[in-house]
Amino acid sequence: MKILGIETSCDETAAAVVEDGVKILSNVVVSQIDIFAEYGGVIPEVAARSHLEAMMPVVKKALNDASCTWDDIDAIAVTYAPGLLGSLLIGTLTARTLAILHNKPLYAVHHLKSHVYANWLELDKQRENCLNPSERAQTESSSDTLKGARPSLRSSEDPVLSSIAPVFPLLALVVSGGHTQILYMPAHNQFEIIGTTRDDAVGECFDKVAKILGLPYPGGPSIAKAALDGDADKYHLPHPKIEGLDFSFSGLKTAVLRAVQKELGLPISHPSHDLKNHLSTQQVADFAASFQKTAVEILCEKIEMALEKYPEVKSVVVAGGVSANQALREALPKAYFPAPSLSGDNGAMVGAAAYYEIKSGVEPTDPYSLNIYPRISIN
Ligand code: KG4
Ligand code: ZN
């Protein structure tokens, strides 16, 4: 089954063709990072306009790169929530129009679900790692996850792939620019939110700390790069005192701000946008490394707590833009991570998520009435 996945929830215009939820036939991502680096963040109206310009060329390139015509495409999948309203609108209007025009079933996919399913993409190329390898055998090929699947899809189940896929029940740590959540997944396409941030998302925190340090947007990759030359133990930053599995990241951002002001001998009233002018390259590197270490520790602590609370869990998957972070990958060596190029927003993960929705018996959506939801939760 070949699915065309379309993604425009934020500032990437993306389309991809994915076969059977794992094999990427094409994956085209046009990023607007260059535009927004100048402004230090995304401007929603500009993002929507850029999506409009890039969308159809990106879809055409995705089909071309996959050597597909419309006849080869079995379904279209698109991100309908959450994200920027104008951005979501361009992707969904495109997908709805194409579905009607080419008479294809249309699937509306939640953005966080797509990020999670990036972990099933190119599984054959990924390293084998799983919390409990001996239990890998009883994976998703078990019949209950196929209940409700269309008979024609069952034959595409690849026994080799399902032996190296994440094993259910699993925990998904979703870490992106807009979200920080721990999801409990008893089976494909079933999500329970067991932990969430009470304020900022961890990616947002990387972005805000980068701004204080004068590092370019997006902050995550800039901080990771600067941290390579820094001493992660130079500055002690406190962990938030949040009980249970919830997160809080706004205090960490403020802690960095106060530590920078203190280091420079400036009062707390000193404007944050001016601090970068006083910092040396080494101080920036040390703050980046100390902040990154603390953010990673906070994420790992909560995952460990969640594993204690749910001892039946067999795999951990990490998803979302921050899953590209090398320090986080090293801190969770047994977890599944998408290929770094698939950590950020892309169309392939939308195609993968839709495949597992179809396998779980989800019906296509009506292309004439599909709505968008900028702030809706995964379940
Ligand atoms: O998933 P994503 O591409 O978009 C959203 O759905 O939000 O995530 C973007 C976030 C940004 O905050 C960016 O700074 C962060 O992911 N990010 C990183 C890294 N690469 C991207 N954070 C830490 N380390 C990275 N290497
Ligand atoms: Zn995303």
How high is the pLDDT of residue 137? 39
Inter-residue contact 220 to 292 (CB < 8 Å) = no
Distance from Cα 166 to the centre of ligand 2, integer Å: 20
Does domain 2-119+341-359 fall under CATH 3.30.420.40? My reply is yes
**Interval 275-298: pLDDT, tens:** 999 999 999 999 999 999 999 999
Interior CA angle at 203 toward 199 and 204, to 5°? 50
**Interval 48-67: pLDDT, tens:** 999 999 999 999 999 999 99
Interior CA angle at 158 toward 156 and 164, to 5°? 145
Rounded Cα distance, 146 and 15, in Å: 27
Rounded Cα distance, 176 and 239, in Å: 19
Which of 88, 114, 206, when mutated, tests ligand 1's pocket best, judged by the most ligand atoms within 8 Å of its CB? 206
How high is the pLDDT of residue 126? 60
Query: Is 2-119+341-359's fold the same as 167-335's?
Result: yes
How high is the pLDDT of residue 211? 97
String of b and e for 34-68 (b: at least 16 CB within 10 Å)?
A: eebeeeeebeeeebbebbbebbeebbeebbebbeb
Distance from Cα 333 to the centre of ligand 2, integer Å: 22
Inter-residue contact 11 to 54 (CB < 8 Å) = no
**Alpha carbon nearest to ligand 1 atom 13, residue:** 220
What is the identity of the amino acid at 85?
L
Inter-residue contact 66 to 25 (CB < 8 Å) = yes
In ligand 1, the atom with minimum distance to the C-alpha of 176 is 8
pLDDT greater than 60 at residue 142: no
Q: Which CATH superfamily is domain 167-335 in?
A: ATPase, nucleotide binding domain (3.30.420.40)
What is the identity of the amino acid at 141?
S
Distance from Cα 234 to the centre of ligand 2, integer Å: 32
In ligand 1, the atom with minimum distance to the C-alpha of 326 is 26
**Domain boundaries along the sequence of the chain:** 2-119+341-359, 167-335
pLDDT greater than 80 at residue 144: no
**pTM for this prediction:** 0.92
Rounded Cα distance, 174 and 317, in Å: 8
Judged by average pLDDT, the poorest of 144-153, 165-174, 214-223 is 144-153
Distance from Cα 8 to the centre of ligand 2, integer Å: 9
Q: How confident is the model at residue 125 (pLDDT cuts 50, 70, 90)?
A: confident
Inter-residue contact 352 to 19 (CB < 8 Å) = no
In ligand 1, the atom with minimum distance to the C-alpha of 115 is 1
- Strand segments, DSSP code E, in the chain are 2-7, 12-19, 23-31, 75-81, 106-110, 170-175, 180-185, 192-196, 315-319
Q: How confident is the model at residue 158 (pLDDT cuts 50, 70, 90)?
A: low
Considering every ligand atom, which ligand is closest to the CA of 12?
A: 1
Distance from Cα 348 to the centre of ligand 2, integer Å: 12
Inter-residue contact 212 to 36 (CB < 8 Å) = no
**Alpha carbon nearest to ligand 1 atom 23, residue:** 220
pLDDT greater than 60 at residue 123: yes
pLDDT greater than 50 at residue 141: no
How high is the pLDDT of residue 124? 74
pLDDT greater than 60 at residue 264: yes
Distance from Cα 208 to the centre of ligand 2, integer Å: 17
Rounded Cα distance, 339 and 341, in Å: 5
pLDDT greater than 90 at residue 93: yes
Q: Which residues line ligand 1 (CB under 6 A)?
A: 10, 176-178, 203-204, 206-207, 218-221, 224, 320-322, 324-325, 344-345
Considering every ligand atom, which ligand is closest to the CA of 84?
A: 1
